[in-house]
């Protein structure tokens, strides 16, 4: 007998939880933009998750049904290509080399490195070209680390700062 999935009616971002106490729903990094998902939790519950247009799922989102916490969303670690540039010239060359492939690039500022989702042929090419600057590792690929997202955030905060400076944001 098929159970109807529990419909998630509230999402709380960055919910403080104890992982042992709460069921989890796992997503792949590339699924965070999907608006409608039906998934099974690790504990076996079937849940239906829906987002509004333009929103995305985040690691740590708390999923509620009728004010009861059902699960925490967890982005699964995946195999990545990590690039640790030796200098800015090597970083620019890497950006040029990767740019035409239209792959998502994740900036790990705390480590001074970049990550790409694993691709076998690309890994062989970048390993041959950049040698010891390339490693394979399991890691979380989070949308907030996407360079494209970081650029958009900086641009929008720059526009707000410019509006504040020029007085365009003031009401007459």
pLDDT digits (tens, 9 = 90+) for 130-147: 999 999 999 999 988 888
CATH code for position 39: 2.60.260.20
Asked if the model's pLDDT at residue 158 lies above 70, the reply is no
At residue 10, the pLDDT reads 86
Q: Which of 25, 54, 75 is the last residue of a domain?
A: 75
Give the model confidence (pLDDT) of 5-28 as tens digits.
888 888 888 766 666 678 899 999
DSSP state letter for 146: B
- The answer to whether the beta carbons of residues 117 and 80 sit under 8 Å apart is yes
The reply to whether 67 and 82 lie within a common domain is no
* pTM, to two decimals: 0.76
The Cβ of residue 115 has, within 10 Å, a number of other Cβ atoms equal to 22
> 18 lies in a domain?
yes
Beta bridge partners of 27: 75
Residue 32 lies in domain: 6-75
Least confident of 29-33, 112-116, 160-164: 160-164
For residue 162, the tally of other CB atoms under 10 A from its CB is 11
- Structural domain tally of the chain? 2
**Average pLDDT value over all residues in the chain:** 84
Higher pLDDT, 148 or 17: 148
């Amino acid at each position: 007998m098929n159970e109807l999935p529990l419909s998630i009616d509230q999402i709380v971002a960055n919910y403080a939880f104890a992982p042992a106490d709460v069921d989890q729903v796992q997503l792949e990094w590339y699924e965070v933009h999907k608006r409608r998902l039906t998934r099974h939790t690790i504990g076996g519950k079937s849940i239906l998750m829906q987002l509004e247009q333009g929103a995305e799922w985040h690691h740590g989102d708390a999923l509620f049904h009728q004010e009861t916490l059902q699960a925490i969303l967890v982005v699964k670690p995946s195999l990545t290509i990590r690039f640790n540039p030796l200098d800015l010239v090597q970083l620019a060359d890497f950006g040029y080399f990767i740019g035409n492939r239209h792959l998502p690039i994740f900036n790990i500022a705390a480590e001074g490195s970049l990550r790409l989702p694993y691709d076998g042929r690309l890994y062989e090419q970048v390993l041959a070209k950049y040698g010891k600057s390339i490693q394979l590792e399991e890691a979380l690929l989070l949308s907030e680390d996407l360079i494209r997202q970081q650029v958009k955030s900086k641009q929008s905060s720059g526009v707000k700062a410019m509006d504040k400076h020029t007085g365009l944001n003031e009401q007459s």
